Amino acid sequence: MSLYTMPCVIFAGGKSSRMGKDKAFLPFGGCDSLIQFQVQRLKKIFANVYISAKDKTKFSGIDALVIEDILHPEISAPTTGFINIFKQLKTKDSFFILSVDTPLVDEKTISKLLEVSTSEYEAIILRTHSGIHPLCGIYTRALEEPIKMMMQKGDHKLRKLLASANVYYVDINEENLLSNLNTPQEYEKAVQNLEK
């Protein structure tokens, strides 16, 4: 199977406050860290995998280019990552994003998102019964200016951005695929689910 040419960006710039430690570096799926697990599996799907993070030195041992958030190091929100991604990937019109703490999103689900044409929509986002998942989907350059305008107002809510954008939602029933690893209990549950 040929690899997708659309860039893939793993968001790993969160605070991990509920976990008590940086979840990107917890061991997972036979890898030394969750970020390593995500990079390895996503490189089997995408030709170019990047990491969006606050401090690139933390990821020096990981085989992926880091898009560092040097413009807004004091703000912990995905919107700041987007600004740096648009700047770094200036020749690309769209990119796929996935949060580091959703390791159960499988290739089949990712392919469903990538099958939708980005020429007709500003974003293509995964949706389950519990709602939308802004950190699992495709964003296009059409949203660069709206994100900048939101940030100027101090607004960092992706759901608000998507509510006023032309979005295609891909619906799936497998809620467990979108399990976030925010707490030690959720992490242990995800480890067990992966072993099944």
Determine the average pLDDT of the residues in 37-55: 96
**pTM for the full model?**
0.92
Q: Would you say residue 2 lies in a domain?
A: no
Residue 18 pLDDT > 60, yes or no? no
Supply the pLDDT for residue 74. Answer: 72
Phi, psi of 192 (to 5 degrees): -65, -40
Q: Would you say residue 3 lies in a domain?
A: no
Question: What is the residue range of 146's domain?
Answer: 8-195
Q: How confident is the model at residue 15 (pLDDT cuts 50, 70, 90)?
A: low
CB 65 within 8 A of CB 51: yes
Q: Would you say residue 94 lies in a domain?
A: yes
In the predicted model, what is the mean pLDDT of the chain?
89
Q: Would you say residue 1 lies in a domain?
A: no
CB 9 within 8 A of CB 51: yes
Supply the pLDDT for residue 13. Answer: 72
Query: Which pair of tokens denotes residue 2?
Result: 């040929």
- Regarding predicted confidence, which is higher, 15 or 96? 96
Q: Would you say residue 45 lies in a domain?
A: yes
Domain total in the chain = 1
Helices (H) and strands (E) in the chain, counts: 6, 7
Q: Would you say residue 58 lies in a domain?
A: yes
CATH number of the domain bearing residue 33: 3.90.550.10
Which residue type is seen at 21? K
Q: Are strands 131-140 and 167-171 parallel, antiparallel or unpaired?
A: unpaired
Strand stretches in the chain, DSSP E:
8-11, 49-53, 65-68, 94-99, 123-128, 131-140, 167-171
CB 104 within 8 A of CB 161: no
Q: Would you say residue 151 lies in a domain?
A: yes
Dihedral sign, Cα of residue 146, residue 147, residue 153, residue 155:
positive
Supply the pLDDT for residue 22. Answer: 79
Which residue type is seen at 55? D
Residue 1 pLDDT > 70, yes or no? no
Query: Which pair of tokens denotes residue 150?
Result: 């939101």
Q: Would you say residue 53 lies in a domain?
A: yes
Distances from the Cα of 35 to the Cαs of 13, 21, 24, 47, 105, in angstroms?
A: 11, 14, 5, 17, 14
CB 121 within 8 A of CB 189: no
**Angle formed by the axes of helices 144-152 and 78-88, to 10°?**
140
First to last CA, the chain: 26
Residue 114 pLDDT > 90, yes or no? yes
